Amino acid sequence: MKSAVLFSGGKDSCYATYLAGKQGYEISCLISVFSENKESYMFHTPSISKVKTQAKVMEIPLLIKKTKGKKEEELKDLEKIISKAKEKFKVDTIVTGAIASVYQASRIQKICDKLNLKCFNPLWKKNELEYWDELFKNNFEIMIVGLASEGLDEKWLGKIINKESFEELKELKKKFKFHLAFEGGEAETFVTNCPLFKKKIKVIKGEKIWEGNSGRYDIQEIELVGK
C-alpha cells in the first residue's frame, strides 16, 4: 500500500506517519499545505515551513502546495496536491492525523472518494490520555508552537511537553475543559524528535508572538544533532 501523509509537522501527523509505517503502509511522500490564513479551518500554520527539515531527517519526499486559505476554497488546493501525489508517486492511500474533527475528516474523505483513493485515519477517536501515553512511550518530543485556548498562556509557547508539564496540562484541562490532544485548535505542535527522525531537530532561536488571547512561536533557527 503506497501512501501519502497529510503532514503539518505536528504530533498528530508525525504519529500517524509512524503508525501507518508500523501497520505496513509504504510512506511514499508527505504532503504539506502552506496557508496564508492563520485562522485556516483545515491547516496548521505556525512554523509550517520547518516541515522541510522534518522531511529531510525522515528521508521522505515532500510535496508542498500554497493556498490563500479561504474556507472551502483551500480544499481545491488540497485536492490538487493530493492528485499530484497520486500521479507522481502512484499512491493509493492518504494518511491523516485526524482525531475528532468531522469537518476535516469528512472533507478529506470526499477528496479521496473523488480521486479513487483510500483514506486511513489511524488516530481517529483515540482516547486523549492513552494517546499522550503512547507518544511518551515512543519518545516523541513535542513543542507547542501555537495557542488559542483559555487557560493556556504565553509561557507554553516554545515549551517541550514532558511528563511533568503534561500533568500541569491535565489540571488545566479539568478547569478550562479544552481537548487534551488539542483537536479543537487549542494548541499547535511541532515535533523535534521521534523514531522516524534520523537526527534530532534542536531549536536554537525562536520568537513568541502574542496577540490578544492567542499566540504562536516562530521558530527562527534550528540545527540537526545526533540522537
Q: Which domains does the chain have, with CATH numbers?
A: 2-120 (3.40.50.620), 142-225 (3.90.1490.10)
Cα 19 to Cα 25: distance, rounded to the nearest angstrom:
9
Q: What is the pLDDT of residues 55-104, one digit of tens each?
A: 999 999 999 999 887 777 789 999 999 999 999 999 999 999 999 888 88
How far, in Å, CA of 126 to CA of 156, rounded?
Answer: 24
Assess whether pLDDT exceeds 70 at residue 41. no
Q: Is 56 exposed, middle or buried (0-12, 13-18, 19+ CB in 10 A)?
A: middle
Does pLDDT of 180 surpass 90? yes
Note the helical H segments in 36-72.
51-58
3-state secondary structure of 53: helix
What is the value of pTM for the model shown? 0.94
Dihedral in degrees, nearest 10, Cα atoms 41, 47, 48, 53: -160
pLDDT > 70 in the chain, percent = 97
Q: What is the mean pLDDT of the chain?
A: 93
- Residue 37 has a pLDDT of 77
How much is the pLDDT for 91?
A: 98
